[in-house]
Amino acid sequence: TGSSDPYCIVKIDDEAIIRTATVWKTLSPFWGEEYEVHLQPTFHSVSIYVMDEDALSRDDVIGKVCITRDMLVEHPKGYSGWMSLSEVDPDEEVQGEIHLRVEVQGSQGGRRLLCCTVLEAR
């Protein structure tokens, strides 16, 4: 139909912790949702999967972006910008990007606070 019903799933080290709202019938969704996640000191990555909701079959994975511990170290004041989606299934071609704002905030009892704003995608 030329459109998708996208939503995002946020995973920390492959454990799903957040699911955004679905934005119906669009290829350029806007979420504007903000989450605060307490990271374990040993975390390795935060991945955001962009999904296409499908009422009649299994939801499709459009692509993903991965924020690694190393990336956060390289951007100690945070990161804001567009990141290209990468494939989840090597047999699928992936196009698109997601606009994120990520900030690592001070320590609370030995834990860092990651503030990730999923803004939009295209």
Domain residues for the domain of 115 are 6-121
What integer best gives the mean pLDDT of the chain? 87
Domain assignment present for 22: yes
Residue 22: which pLDDT band, with cuts at 50, 70 and 90? very high
Is the pTM above the cut of 0.85? no
Whether residue 105 has pLDDT greater than 80: no
Domain assignment present for 21: yes
Residues in a beta bridge with 61 = 51
Number of domains in the chain: 1
Fill in the DSSP letter of residue 74.
Answer: H
- What are the E-state strand segments in the chain? 6-12, 15-19, 30-39, 45-52, 60-68, 79-84, 97-108, 111-121
Whether residue 33 has pLDDT greater than 90: no
Domain assignment present for 66: yes
Whether residue 111 has pLDDT greater than 70: no
Domain assignment present for 1: no
Residue 98: CATH number of its domain: 2.60.40.150
Domain assignment present for 13: yes
pLDDT single digits (tens) 34-77: 887 777 878 899 999 999 999 899 999 999 999 998 998 899 88
The CA distance from 92 to 7, in Å, is 19
Domain assignment present for 88: yes
CB 94 within 8 A of CB 77: no
